[in-house]
Amino acid sequence: MIVTPHTDMLRVLFTLKGSIIKRIALRCLGVTLLAALIVLVERHYPALFYPVSATPFTLLGLSLSIFMSFRNNACYDRWWEGRKAWGQMIVEVRSFTRQSVVIADEQLREQLLRSLCGFAHALNAKLRNEDELQAAKPWLDDAQCISAHNACDGILREVGRQCAQLPIGDLRYTQLEQRLSGLAQVQATCERIKGTPLPFPYTLLLHRTIYIFCLLLPFALAEPLGWLAPLFTTLVSYTFFGLDAIGNELEDPFGRDENDLPTDAMVRTIERDVLAALGHEPLPPVWVAVEHVLS
C-alpha cells in the first residue's frame, strides 16, 4: 500500500511510485503510435481516409465510463472488505490476549498467544499462495499436530482444544471461544474474497470494449484535431486503461502489488501486541514503508 504525505502539484504530475502508468505504458504508447499513423494517412492521402463522426464515440465513452465505475466500485469494495477483515483479526487477537489473563499457567498462556501469531502468519501466507504451515512454524511449539491441508484452521482447532481443557469456568471459556470463532470468520471472509473473482464475462466484456474504443477513437479525431489527435487519444487511453488496471489490482487485495493491503505490517502489529502482553523485550520493530510502499 502506498503511504505518502500530500505532495505538491509537480510531484503529483510526475511521480511514478504507486502510479498505474508502469503497467499500461506499452498499451498507451501503441494507441498513440496508431493515432499518429492515422493522422499521417489522413494528411497525405485524404482520398483513402473515410471521416468518422465522433457522436458514436461520445455515447460509447459515456456508457463505458459508467460501466467501469461499477466495476471499480466492486473491486474497491473487495479491497475495503479485506481491510476490515484484517482489522477485525487484530481486534479478536487483542481481545483474546486480554481475556486470557484468567489462564493461571503462564507457559500455556504464552503458547496459546504465540499460536495466534502463527495463525496470522499462516493466513497471510495462504492468501499469497505461499506455504502457510512453514510461515507459522516459528510461532508454534508443536507444528507436527497441525495439518498442512488447512494450517490456519488447524491452529484454531488446537487452540480451541486446549482452551476447552482449562479450569476457567463456562463463562470464561465461552468468551475465549467467541474470539476463536471471530478469527475463523476472518479467515472465511478472506478466503471468499481470494477465491471468488469477479465474473469473467463481466471483465472480458469491459476489456474488449476498452480496446475497441481506444483503437477506433483516432479515426474520429484525426480530421477535426489533426496532430492533436494523438495527444487526446493518449489521455483517453491512459484514463480507460488505467482504471481497468487499477480494478484488476484491487480485485485481489492480498498480493504484493504496491496498492495491495499491507498485511505484513498488520501481522507485525499482532506480534508486537502479543509479545508486549507477555512481557517480552525488546519488541520486533514496527513495519515501516520502504520507498513509500508499506507491505
Residue of 215, 198, 239, 263 whose CA lies nearest to 24:
239
The predicted structure's pLDDT at residue 270: 95
The predicted structure's pLDDT at residue 256: 86
The alpha carbon of 284 is separated from its chain's Cα centroid by a whole number of angstroms, namely 25
The neighbour count for residue 84, using CB atoms within 10 Å, is: 11
pTM: predicted TM-score of the whole model, two decimal places: 0.88
Contacts by residues 95-98 (CB-CB < 8 Å, ≥ 24 positions apart): 95/179, 95/182, 96/176, 96/179, 96/180, 97/273, 97/274, 97/277, 98/277
- Sequence-ordered strand ranges (E) for the chain: none
pLDDT tens, N- to C-terminus, the chain (295 residues): 767 665 566 666 666 666 778 888 899 999 999 999 988 888 888 777 776 777 788 888 888 888 888 888 999 999 999 999 999 999 999 999 999 999 988 999 999 999 999 999 999 999 999 999 899 999 998 766 777 788 999 999 999 999 999 988 889 999 999 999 999 999 999 999 999 988 888 888 888 889 888 888 888 888 888 889 899 999 999 988 988 888 888 889 998 888 889 999 999 999 999 999 999 989 989 888 776 677 7
Phi, psi of 167 (to 5 degrees): -85, 65
* In the chain, domain spans: 9-277
At 111, the amino acid letter reads Q
The residue to which cell 483513402 is assigned: 48
The residue to which cell 487526446 is assigned: 232
The predicted structure's pLDDT at residue 69: 85
Lookup: cell for 62 = 459515456
